[in-house]
A and B are shown apart, each in its own frame.
Chain A
């Protein structure tokens, strides 16, 4: 039954969601960007959001729920304005990641996946982000803060709570909020893609050595 979508989202939001659906030859492909887009509105994936996507894509809510619960980047409860991910996979961990993770949680007085009372910062330990060349790394709203240590990481989360975080080491000139970052993941261009370094020196170091060595030894 082709009934109009009944949801609390604004006409503007519904229009954006419609434009996201139209990008794909098979509408089901739009589940993931739509989930990101909902996070850009509400900060996390709500039941209303799941049911709305199901309606838009003519799916059962169970099917949307399956996707939303599979990927850890979709949050089922609110996160902070700045969501901090601390890498605790092998290389980052031995380079100080484990210590950073523990001390930041203690410093903020929260548990893993917890949010500070002011709603500014949340922390989770994350799996490898392919930035071992800058280990240990901390991410905020999926932007990199490279070569961190316990003190620099504590300073970073403090600055977030004060509302003036420094720009990411690589990436745009300012740290966008969680909701802004979610909109980008939904495929909505924020015009910041050209800012910041793309591949830094440590990333290219191996290539440089290979080029300089004779016979590629």
Chain B
């Protein structure tokens, strides 16, 4: 039981919510301490501030007693254990008296002996080891070791390092066989691809030769390795820990909301580690969060760019670029597209900029496939109760709708997996096929593409159930409405899990056509007045704004002539989005050269997460604030640039700093009271898809965690552990086509084709699944459809 769990239990017991926790009092080194029954001795000692040395012990992993470093003397009711015991495996008992190394010469000698044994084959190569300077073995050898080794023999050596995946390296002779990495992989990630092999002096951590350590969570093993045995390929030999400046940060990759730590040396991120937040990511992160950050350094925009008369983007000064942008935005009818990666402060900047500087509600943060139904759903969502990780911990069942946790929000996956493993939490998923993630969650998968709405209403839930709705559910018309209805009828909690880190914040900042900041409806005059008063502005535009799709449509038709975009990839929205953008005057706020540079008329460089402060709202709606890790950057946050641009237009938004934006946004509070009436117009019918013919299938797809996402560029080691890019079809279809696993198949429609190796899977026989944004598989661009359309499937 971890300190945090003890705290939580104490809180629960003091509230008298659950049945009272039985407390047990023991004596450690002469001091009394009371802890809940089941607490391990090592943890009880921690509570007194007594640190017993340890390696294998980890509060979030099952006890194993592998390293023997935590030996202490124990007696119970006057009866002494005949020899020292591992304090990390023994729970407290009434009448227990524990003497640690501080008071027992026997325990001290035992610990020194263990340390000496652990070091016999250890190379003592701290000066060239990544872990040197932050190594529990190094530290505890100093604090609790013998100082000098008596060993004079030849140390065992191994070939080193070996790649157990493209991103994790193993130096076997440094390993002390604590089994933290193998236990993590099995117990936390559900990916038991590394094991302790062989025995005795030859025992070593290893993979099965043909199966590398292909886990999305493998980086955690590097972080929890108490010695330098596991190192990250991207960080190896790059830095000494004492040269790094560490800053708490937030992860920009998804909406899980992880606490991160960024380690910077001379203005450059060298590594990122999982932070410790027991209510969110505990002490874990996914490999994308840990290892995808080189985008910060590569292809960066350093100066504003303006498209000149011959159509080339050329460098320009800030005043020139701002004047040009302001002119273009103010003489045309303009709209705003905010990428899903904005901080809430930046999103608020866009939201206010659209209303004040551009006098429009035509703003949308959903730079992806989306629907009007979704917009109403999101407005309704903000009126509901918030859902948290804790609700997953307590749920009687979890329903996944249009959501693949392992791929789309990996920390939610870990949380569900923990409960599945601990108490057999029931998980059901409405999905085209049983993915590996769903297999690990032992989920009941309802495989039905095309009739989702009908299936959603069939779930039997209670008020302890949790419905997790992915952003992809918006792609099935009527499904979001059905999910809302299901939650209302059963009393179950409903949460919406966007894929990107900024979407929830952008929603609350009002970066969408139907909402103003603080969940106020545009259509509600009183809500508009609230905002007008706060902003000291004239009347706000009254008409509900256009959505992403409508804005693009209007661009094509020439009804909107100018566009302000912030971190948008047009390829995420639709194949033809880029053509619409070509017709308009586009002002792009970007951190790097991107597809937007092709069509932008003015490009204004902005700061990356590491260079700015701000906060991300995770799927729970909880803010994680962060400060700039790189403090001497010349780049500025979007909101600051927008504020200057608004000044230039002559309609100031007065958001000169991130802090100002945060303060102003916080002052609005929640304006969502009594607005349910505005939500009546949700549609509930699912568009019927034609039954697929003989060589046809219904296309489905989602993004894999590791794919062609632009924030993952320049990370070859990370890319090496991406899931294979395959098309999943049913056994039946494979037989009909006369193909087997690994054969190439062609997926096509009138717009184009995609050729992929196939994998036979447990899939709705009418459907085919392919990755949405991987090498050779970008259906939105190639087929102009990502899901729920008929495609032809033949042998390639």
Contact = CB atoms under 8 A, between A and B. Distances in A.
A1 B192 contact: no
A55 interface: no
Contact of A69 (B193, B199, B731): B199
A40 B760 CA distance: 33
B218 to A, nearest CB: 13
B195 interface: yes
A1 B199 contact: no
B210 interface: yes
A62 B760 contact: no
Interface of chain A, helix or strand or loop or mixed?
helix
A60 interface: yes
Contact of A62 (B194, B199, B434, B761): B194
B439 interface: yes
B407 interface: no
Nearest to A58: B439
Interface in B583-627: none
B762 A63 contact: no
A62 B214 CA distance: 12
A153 to B, nearest CB: 27
Contacts of A71: 199
Interface string A85-114: 000000000000000000000000000000
Nearest to A68: B197
A62 B762 contact: no
B211 interface: yes
Contacts of A47: 209-210
B668 interface: no
A66 B439 contact: no
B237 interface: no
Nearest to A62: B208
Nearest to B434: A1
A62 B439 contact: no
Interface in B464-513: none
A168 B196 CA distance: 36
Interface in A30-80: 47, 50, 59-63, 65-66, 69-72
Using C-beta atoms within 8 Å of the partner chain, give the interface range for chain B. Answer: 20 to 34
Contacts of A63: 192, 195
A2 interface: yes
A212 interface: no
B207 interface: yes
Given A1-B439, A60-B192, A60-B211, A69 B197 contact: yes
A104 to B, nearest CB: 24
Given A1-B434, A69-B197, A70-B198, A60 B761 contact: no
Given A1-B439, A1-B761, A3-B760, A60 B208 contact: yes
Interface in B763-780: none
A62 B198 contact: no
Contacts of A62: 192-195, 206-208, 211
A69 B208 contact: no
A112 to B, nearest CB: 15
Contacts of A61: 208, 210-211
Interface in A106-154: none
A90 B341 CA distance: 69
Contacts of B192: 59-60, 62-63
Contacts of A3: 731, 760
B762 A66 contact: no
Given A59-B192, A70-B197, A72-B199, 13 more contacts: A2-B762, A47-B209, A47-B210, A60-B191, A60-B211, A62-B192, A62-B195, A62-B206, A62-B207, A63-B192, A65-B195, A66-B196, A66-B197
Interface of A: 1-3, 47, 50, 59-63, 65-66, 69-72
Of all A-B residue pairs in the complex, the 3 with the closest CB atoms, nearest first, are A66-B195, A62-B208, A61-B208
